[in-house]
Amino acid sequence: MTAYTELEARFRRLGAVEEAIAMLHWDAAAMMPVGGAAARAEQLGTLRGIAHQLLTASQIADRLAAAEADADALGAWQRANLREMRRRWRHAAAVPSDLVEASSHARSESESVWRAARPADDFAMALPGLEHVLALTRETAAAKAEAFGTSPYEALLDQYEPDLSTGTIDRLFDEISAFLPGLLDAVLARQAAQAVPPEPSGPFPIALQRRAALTLMERIGFDFAHGRLDETAHPFCGGTSEDVRLTTRFDEADFTKALMGTLHETGHALYKRGLPAEWRRQPVGMARGMAVHESQSLFLEMQVCRSRAFAGFAAPLLRDIFGGIGEAWDAEALYRRQIRVMPGPIRVDADEVTYPAHIILRYRLERAMLAGDLVPRDLPSAWADGLQRLIGVMPPSHCDGCLQDIHWYDGAWGYFPTYTLGALIAAQLFAAVRHALPDIGDRIGRGEFAPLFEWLRAHIHGRGSLLSTADLVQEATGMPLGTGAFERHLRQRYLE
């Protein structure tokens, strides 16, 4: 075996271990009884330790150097794979195994407590776990920052979006912050002059909501031979490319929350399923960072499923499933409800105009906590003050404030910026789709989604991690990542 083929074999084993971790994580969130939490933390810690050992074995550095010396003999995808192998090795080599296992245990324990603390609205219950996770995250970030020659926050960012800098985030977020307040005021003023769209009367049985979600997922193109939908406290998409696990949460008073959340996760799932099968369990075959992953969920939820065309397709199906009667079940009423801007405290329920403010808040708070400028016990007040300044909303409780998201309690520090970066990419991608498929609105209205996803598979899904995010966006859309397409989309949808 050559040095490169030895690396491929090792990363294939690593990929299988990581798939097992993904399935155990999904099970802990969706199916596991609460009494299994301690054992699951031990299982996940052990497997993450094994994965770390596979990445940091003494011969890896030598094999990487040897393979890179012979890189001219490799194909383009293999050279890209080698690049991604080194990136993953650098992340692992910077952190000792005992810190990896300690962090894994802390994350699992903290997440388990958070699942009890959130419905109880008890921040004090979740605080010790958050403090422990933060301390270990700081230690990890410091080790990686020293190895990479970056700031600690950028070292964490690189886990989720390779080569992303705080300078790029600050520039894009500053541009959004410049146009968003005026846009929000104009949208709210326009809405105030319009009649409120009629609301269908509930309650909406969970069984019917589930049927609606499954029906739309199937019509859009999700393959249930390779995935399933379950319930959790915090919706997410997990599992593997061959066995995608989506979760949602239902509210009997409002069926659209679960429906749109499910469609959001379906975007993630279709990306996961569309990754190149021939590169499976190799770094180059994985998703190109979480900004691209979030772009796929927001592409489906915001660009497609909140459009007037989609409302025309979905309204008759929903009316039939729920037995709806009256104007509230018409397509136009559904569309106007889906684009109604209502500043509120919950990120996952936020409209797309105010959503970036939720992300900018979290970005600022997590940077402050990692830097030591904000201690976790002061998080509730800092959160409330920040949200009030950004969108004029005060969270009424901890579960509507700093307990609403799982990310920090589960160790996902540096993840939040990828949501809004994903929204920017999604807007550029849909503009490119409209140019390539001028009749795409009519097709969506008829429930014809295949052309849309054929385009995505060709330009995004099937590319895996072959290109950097910057190059992937440039090639797919013909322009570098920016805020222009996103701002135009918001103005066209909400003001024109």
Which residues are annotated as catalytic? 265
Q: Rounded to the nearest 10 degrees, what angle do helices 255-274 and 289-298 cross at?
A: 130
- Beta pairing, strands 243-248 & 227-231: parallel
Q: Provide CB contacts within 8 A for 496, sequence distance 6+.
A: none
**DSSP label at residue 198:** P
Phi, psi (rounded to 5 degrees) for 411: 85, 10
Q: What is the CA radius of gyration of the chain?
A: 22
| Dihedral sign computed on CA atoms, order 367, 372, 374, 378 | positive
Q: Compute the distance between CA of residue 142 and CA of residue 140 in angstroms, rounded to an integer.
A: 5
Q: Compute the distance between CA of residue 269 and CA of residue 172 in angstroms, rounded to an integer.
A: 27
> 187: part of which helix (H) or strand (E)?
helix 166-192
Cβ atoms of residues 311 and 334 within 8 Å: yes
Q: Compute the distance between CA of residue 66 and CA of residue 212 in angstroms, rounded to an integer.
A: 54
Amino acid at 211: R
Hunting for tokens 């003001």 — which residue is that? 495
Q: How many angstroms separate the Cα of 110 from the Cα of each of 98, 105, 455?
A: 18, 8, 41
Cβ atoms of residues 184 and 344 within 8 Å: no
Query: Would you state the structure tokens that stand for residue 380, as one six-digit string?
Result: 């509730």
Dmax (CA) of the chain: 71
Phi-psi category of residue 326: left, alpha or beta, with phi > 0 → left and psi -120 to 50 → alpha: left
Q: Compute the distance between CA of residue 206 and CA of residue 229 in angstroms, rounded to an integer.
A: 13
Query: Would you state the structure tokens that stand for residue 229, as one six-digit string?
Result: 């939908």
Hunting for tokens 């990929």 — which residue is that? 15
